[in-house]
Amino acid sequence: MGFWDKLFGKPTKEENVMTKLNIGIILGSTRQGRVSPQVGEWVKGIADKRGDANYEIVDIADFKLPFLGTTDGTEPGIGEWNQKLASLDGFVFIVQEYNHSITGALKNALDFAREAWNDKAAGIVSYGSTGGARAAEHLRGICGELKIADVRTHPTLSLFTDFENGSVFKPQDLHLNNVNTMLDEVMAWSGALKTLR
Ligand SMILES: Cc1cc2nc3c(=O)[nH]c(=O)nc-3n(C[C@H](O)[C@H](O)[C@H](O)COP(=O)(O)O)c2cc1C
């Protein structure tokens, strides 16, 4: 650290990690052979280059959530899921279209928390035959109920032009600007909403 940095209290790398916002990139699908990890890693790669937040992939599959209402609700994954969400200031949902909506796994995971979602911002990156647009619009309705402020800019990936054989992710360059604009909006609103909590 240089003289002026010390004098004016420029934060160290460690302090930066502690004060930066935490943004979770939530993988919405859990099926075997899913492509969501490829899409999530791509978004994280773009996000990490910005250096403006602590971005992490949050995989619903890791929490082994039961199907809501089918157990006594004591599975450790339920508490761990809520703790993970509580540690985050904002979200990027990786959304895939299943029967014109979001996956059952994502809906179940959304339903398994309430306060941990409230007064936070979210961006949506979706994919499907029509860019996952119908699923994304359904998610926006759910976000309203959970008091998640979903930002406007929404990168939509096509199964036909951004994937090879629907399985190998090869995004077109044109999406890069959209992802960064979406992240700009998530960062601005996540910072603003932190003051409410
Ligand atoms: C049960 C199911 C329903 C689907 N329904 C749609 C659909 O309505 N519209 C669409 O564009 N794609 C649909 N698809 C195709 C998925 O969007 C595509 O398989 C995508 O890769 C799924 O995401 P994932 O690989 O992360 O699971 C469906 C796929 C599944 C498994």
- pLDDT per residue rounded down to tens, the chain (197 residues): 555 565 566 666 566 566 899 999 999 999 999 999 999 999 999 999 999 999 999 999 999 999 999 999 999 999 999 999 999 999 999 999 999 999 999 999 999 999 999 999 999 999 999 999 999 999 999 999 999 999 999 999 999 999 999 999 999 999 999 999 999 999 999 999 999 99
Q: Is the CB of residue 100 below 6 angstroms from any atom belonging to ligand 1?
A: yes
Q: Is the CB of residue 156 below 6 angstroms from any atom belonging to ligand 1?
A: no
What global pTM score does this model have? 0.93
Q: Where are the beta strands (DSSP E) in the chain?
A: 21-27, 53-59, 90-96, 120-128, 148-150, 156-158, 163-164, 168-169
Q: Is the CB of residue 35 below 6 angstroms from any atom belonging to ligand 1?
A: yes
Residue 84 CA to residue 98 CA, distance in Å, equals: 25
Hey, which of 99, 127, 157, 169 would you mutate to test ligand 1's pocket, going by the most ligand atoms within 8 Å of its Cβ?
99
Q: Is the CB of residue 126 below 6 angstroms from any atom belonging to ligand 1?
A: no
